Amino acid sequence: MDKPVIVTVDDDPGVSRGVARDLRRRYGHSYRIVRAESPAQGIEAVREMRLRGDDVAAVLADYRMPQMNGVEFLEQAMDLYPYARRILLTAYADTDAAIRAINVIDLDHYLLKPWDPPEEKFYPVIDAQLDSWQRAERLERPELRVVGARWSSPSYRVRDFLARNHVPYRWLLDEEPEGAQLIAALGGPGPALPLVVTADGTTLSAPGDAELATAVGLSTTPATDFYDLVVIGGGPGGLGAAVYGASEGLRTVLVEQHASGGQAGQSSRIENYLGFPDGVSGGQLADRARRQALKFGAELLTARTVTSLEARGQGRVVGFSDGGSIAAHAVILATGVTYRRLDAPGLDEFTGRGVFYGAALTEAPSCKGTDVYIVGAANSAGQAAVHLSGYASRVHLLVRGDDLGKSMSHYLVEQIAGIANIEVHTRTRVTAGEGGDHLERLTLEGPEGARTVDAEWLFVFIGAQPRTDWLGDAVERDARGFVVTGPDLLATGERPRDWPLRRQPYFLETSVPGVFAAGDVRAESIKRVASAVGEGAMAVSLVHRYLEKT
């Protein structure tokens, strides 16, 4: 089989030869390196590869070229090879153009010239891009198929589960010929939808998360019944704890109810996370962290619902909804938060049928050419507005306050102001929703009074409700349900109620020794991805301290 191709385009012959030389030195055994010294020559070469059926893994283009700059070249190359990784070579003075290209052509990375030594500044970037290309699903017809109704909450839940767990699938409407054929092949009155057909022909009718996870090869069963550390929740805090716990030699298992990434995993692009100047999607960040945890030996369980936590002697026992349990020396609670439901008549019945809590990235292509409404004023709402503006004819951002800047990062406020089809409505709220088999209309209350608008899409990003109801009285929580830790347990200057030890609780420790909390679930935490990851790492260091003194 022919080697995949890496294409490099630069009009400076010396630089062009240098780039090709560095690429061949590192990747020549696995990839064919094709060099072009003009955009026209590069486009001709890419077209010939397309005709021959060659596979292009990455395209590197210099920004400053005559007749056609690097962004314009990559945009044309993208039409021929949409899955190839796109890398822009720039001088320091061109970084603003490179950053703009991230949104214009979904640029994967930009590299500043020169990059000596390549072992430090060039190869790590190319390694990461080629790794992403190799793992991407490039087939036009994924083997896993999902058949369902267009406006169906169960169908949406299955698609969302697969997408957030990075399982490729092909979506078929039940009214389409192939979808109808798959349903008819089962005979009888017809299966409950959605219907999932796996690569080996196994059919699942309206599967739950656990059944679906098992069918697609996700791990759902613990390898043993006792660990050093159980991490509950697979958001940034939980993934950070799993990476640091496993890398430091703790037998670590992470338990996640739905999919790794948490709320952050639904973000279309996070641009202020340290170390990612090009930005990174929440899904990409979560996938990298998940693979990193697995590399260090952590065990990841998906589609397992934790329902109880109990201290038994020196052990901490975590119970599951199916009656099973696992135990550990220590537990880190990183269950994060969920968006609050919008309290407006008529909306609950349309959840998953036009009303979505969170970004619901699987629905973005279906929004093409329509008006989309978003409720919220924090970063998650802003990121969704920017992302959906690439599909919808107009995005309406509904904000209860009078200023986006009070709760949204400055860079996002500026981005939104620069996108023509995003309209911000301040002092506006949704008061009702109505429709037939899906959402069709919204009633909005704003400065000019009430009005009804046609609307099929409503995405809600309001409030932060902690996922802690299952804890009951196991650990101390505040009035809103957030887990109280460390110094906040000592409001009276004394030890916490029923605290059995002579020492005071560690900073992230709950009212139960050996049980820690990290990330958004913790009372008074900073609701940012970076702080959640940091708390996950800090919690592991406190687990070590706890184990040493136990």
Q: What is the pLDDT of residues 302-345, one digit of tens each?
A: 999 999 999 999 999 999 999 999 999 999 999 999 989 998 99
What span, in angstroms and rounded, lies between the C-alpha atoms of 425 and 417?
A: 12
Beta carbons within 10 angstroms of residue 305's beta carbon: 15
pLDDT of 523 reads 94
pLDDT of 495 reads 66
Residue 114: is the preceding peptide bond cis (ω within 30°)? yes
CATH 3.50.50.60 range(s) for the chain read 226-338+465-549, 348-460
**Domain boundaries 348-460, corresponding CATH code:** 3.50.50.60
Residue 52, phi then psi, degrees to nearest 5: -80, -15
Instruction: Give the residue among 391, 448, 279 at the shortest CA–CA distance from 374.
Output: 391
Q: Which CATH architecture has domain 226-338+465-549?
A: 3-Layer(bba) Sandwich (3.50)
What span, in angstroms and rounded, lies between the C-alpha atoms of 153 and 16?
A: 52
Cα 165 off chain centre by:
9
pLDDT of 188 reads 65
What span, in angstroms and rounded, lies between the C-alpha atoms of 309 and 332?
A: 11
Query: pTM here?
Result: 0.78
Residues of the chain short of pLDDT 70, as ranges, are: 1, 93, 103-104, 137-142, 188-190, 492-495
What span, in angstroms and rounded, lies between the C-alpha atoms of 373 and 392?
A: 10
pLDDT of 109 reads 85
CATH 3.40.30.10 range(s) for the chain read 145-215
* Secondary structure (3-state) at 77: helix
What span, in angstroms and rounded, lies between the C-alpha atoms of 459 and 384?
A: 9
**Looking at domain 5-135, does it have CATH number 3.40.50.2300?**
yes
pLDDT of 53 reads 82
pLDDT of 494 reads 63
Tokens standing for residue 56: 């292009």
pLDDT of 241 reads 98
Instruction: Give the residue among 415, 414, 453, 409 at the shortest CA–CA distance from 431.
Output: 453
What span, in angstroms and rounded, lies between the C-alpha atoms of 537 and 531?
A: 10
Estimate the crossing angle of helix 529-549 against helix 236-247, to 10 degrees. 40
What span, in angstroms and rounded, lies between the C-alpha atoms of 546 and 516?
A: 10
Of 3.40.50.1100, 3.40.30.10, 3.40.50.620, 3.50.30.30, the CATH number of 145-215 is: 3.40.30.10
CATH 3.40.50.2300 range(s) for the chain read 5-135
What span, in angstroms and rounded, lies between the C-alpha atoms of 356 and 472?
A: 28
